Structure 1
Amino acid sequence: MFYRRKIILALLQVFEGQVDKISLQKLLFLFTKNQAKPEYDFVPYKYGCYSYSAHADLTSMVSKGILTDLEKAYKCNETTNYFNTLKADDKKLMLYVKDQYGKMNADALMKHVYLNFPYWAINSVKAKEILTLQQFEKINNSRPKSEKTILFTIGYEGISLEAYLNRLIKNDVKVLVDVRNNPLSMKYGFSKSQLQRYCNSLGIEYVHYPEVGIQSEQRQELNTQSDYDKLFAVYRQNNLTKTTASQVKILNLLKEKKRIALTCFEANICQCHRKHLAEAIKNLPDFNYEVKHI
């Protein structure tokens, strides 16, 4: 079993085996915030901090009978003491979370998180209800905002879905432009339908331009930077010269939405075609904007 799932099970067991769904996300957030290397990342969602990855793990454990979904809560069905399987530091942290927050209901936990971590409350539908006007203003002031027009590029290699989405939110990206030829991924959350759904749930539009991508069979045996450079030389000559219409569409989208991001897999921009696509768009007439790799 993944260690991160043991943390969820231990958390449920420490809290008498059953926790409501909103509280569980908040408790898990408070727990991971104090980990040296967090097992889960979170995004600002409609009830505050939320981990899609944790939800996926919970759903998986329900399907295996490890947990029971009680509609508004999760119940642990395991007899194994998962607290005893945790690392020493995580045991101490788990007991700290229990001691500090064990008597708080969902609203109290939400309020605590909102006041202490306002960024994670920027999309909350409950914030205005449970906070004072002054406290709510602090939430609004935590929302990333910018009117500057920027063409961003971003890769998802090596980071979680939530960390990736937070980069988009913190840069006030309005539209994610998927430039993969084949938008399927073994990495959780990054296949087209999933990524579109998660972006939309956070108010980010998603569009896909497969024609500006590189086909999978062309991406074999890329072992050195020289291999990538040869691939991109062919890409510039054979693809970018033929997809000007799509590049113009992306530029027009940038002009309309002001902050859009081209996305593909690679973290290293020098090993991804999106760098060359961004340069091609930059060289179009009427492009007077910044290009930024995040």
Structure 2
Amino acid sequence: MKLFNRQKILLNVVEELNEKNIKSRRAIVKSLFLLKEEHGLGKEILFYNFFAYKQGPFSHLCFHDLRKLRDNNFINEEETTITIEGKKFLNQIGRKHENTIKIMLKNFSDEKKIMDYVYKKYPQYTIKSEMIEQKQKKASPRFFTIGYEGKDIDLFLNVLVSNRIELLIDVRKNPFSMNFIYIKGALMKKLKDAGIDYIHMPELGIESKERKNLQTKEDYEKLFEKYRKVLPMNEVYINRIIELGTIKRIVLLCYEADYNLCHRKEISKIIENKGHGMVNL
């Protein structure tokens, strides 16, 4: 099995924690979080993203990698100790990254110190935590939009959670994606775990056949001109969005990262014309 750089970093973190007799997946995740936030690893290699979850900053991709490393006998069943096979990868990240990991962990003698440090310095990642009493006020209702293009699920959830999103409205005609995690069923599960509700409104989507061969801005404008003509016929769904957005913080979801190349912009225009502000995330 060929390992990504992030997985090699993960193995080195597990080993360094073991030398301190710290053996928990929670400590592993928080250590990786600090490597990204305070030592810039995400700027040099493709690394993990994190979002506020039940025990502070969390990464689905990290847990996925831990399971994969376990299944390939690089770490033990508890996913907290490196095997002999896994140790072969410990010297493959370069002296710079090895030293960074040692420096980052030198002030932490146990898991509690790591957790206390993260919770104190990064309170924005504790807003969903079940380990502390939550006292924050409920955020005001508001309308947002987002495209998932180019975002892994952890970065996507971080954007939603940090903006206190309560409900995601999927305006894709067909909630399918080449990225499995954004297929309706898988996405609903991840959203539910993060405390976010999901509604699918295919009536506001555009047929896949209409989206083929879009190459230029003119192609997109022709598509949206046609869409604008049929959109008023679905006003009942627009009104439903407005109704929900006056009581919750909602986000409209589609694929495109570029707001101007997505039909959610046309939906947003109607909502804005009815007196409600929209923010693209």
- Give yes or no for TM over 0.5: yes
Identity of aligned residues (%): 30
Distance 1:81 1:65 in 2: 12
Matched, 1:32 2:36: yes
Q: How many equivalent pairs are there?
A: 272
What is the correspondence of 1:55-66 to structure 2 with a 5 Å cutoff?
A: 55-66=63-74
Q: Does the 8 Å CA contact 1:144/1:169 hold for their aligned counterparts?
A: no
Partner of 2:124: 119
Q: Does the 8 Å CA contact 1:144/1:172 hold for their aligned counterparts?
A: no
Q: C-alpha root-mean-square deviation of aligned residues, in Å? A: 2.3
**What is the DSSP-based 3-state SS (H/G/I as helix, E as strand, rest coil) of the residue aligned with 2:144?**
strand
**What is the DSSP-based 3-state SS (H/G/I as helix, E as strand, rest coil) of the residue aligned with 1:69?**
coil
Distance 1:291 1:200 in 2: 24
Partner of 2:93: 86
CA deviations 1:78-125 (Å, max 9, x no partner) are: 244323211443222111133222x212x3321121011111112212
CA deviations 1:10-45 (Å, max 9, x no partner) are: 212233388311111111111222343521111111
Distance 2:142 2:74 in 1: 46
Q: Which amino acid in structure 2 is aligned with residue 202 of structure 1?
A: A
Distance 2:89 2:104 in 1: 16
**What is the DSSP-based 3-state SS (H/G/I as helix, E as strand, rest coil) of the residue aligned with 2:18?**
coil
Distance 2:175 2:143 in 1: 21
Q: Which amino acid in structure 1 is aligned with residue 131 of structure 2?
A: K
Partner of 2:258: 268
Q: Which amino acid in structure 1 is aligned with residue 82 of structure 2?
A: C
What is the correspondence of 1:22-171 to structure 2 with a 5 Å cutoff?
A: 22-38=26-42, 39-70=47-78, 73-77=79-83, 78-101=85-108, 103-105=109-111, 107-128=112-133, 140=135, 146-147=139-140, 149-171=141-163
What is the correspondence of 1:154-233 to structure 2 with a 5 Å cutoff?
A: 154-187=146-179, 189-233=181-225
Distance 2:86 2:245 in 1: 55
Distance 1:235 1:85 in 2: 53
**What is the DSSP-based 3-state SS (H/G/I as helix, E as strand, rest coil) of the residue aligned with 2:267?**
helix
**What is the DSSP-based 3-state SS (H/G/I as helix, E as strand, rest coil) of the residue aligned with 1:75?**
coil
1:19–1:218 distance in 2 versus 1, CA, 3 Å: farther
Q: Does the 8 Å CA contact 1:179/1:209 hold for their aligned counterparts?
A: yes
Q: Does the 8 Å CA contact 1:144/1:171 hold for their aligned counterparts?
A: no
- 1:188 Cα deviation after fit: 5.8
- 1:271 Cα deviation after fit: 0.3
Distance 1:229 1:63 in 2: 49
Unaligned runs of 5+ in 2: none
Q: Does the 8 Å CA contact 1:161/1:188 hold for their aligned counterparts?
A: no
**From 270, 277, 281, the counterpart of 1:290:** 277
1:87–1:183 distance in 2 versus 1, CA, 3 Å: farther
**TM-score, structure 1 as length reference:** 0.83
Q: Does the 8 Å CA contact 2:11/2:86 hold for their aligned counterparts?
A: no
- 1:67 Cα deviation after fit: 2.9
Partner of 2:8: 6
**TM-score, structure 2 as length reference:** 0.87
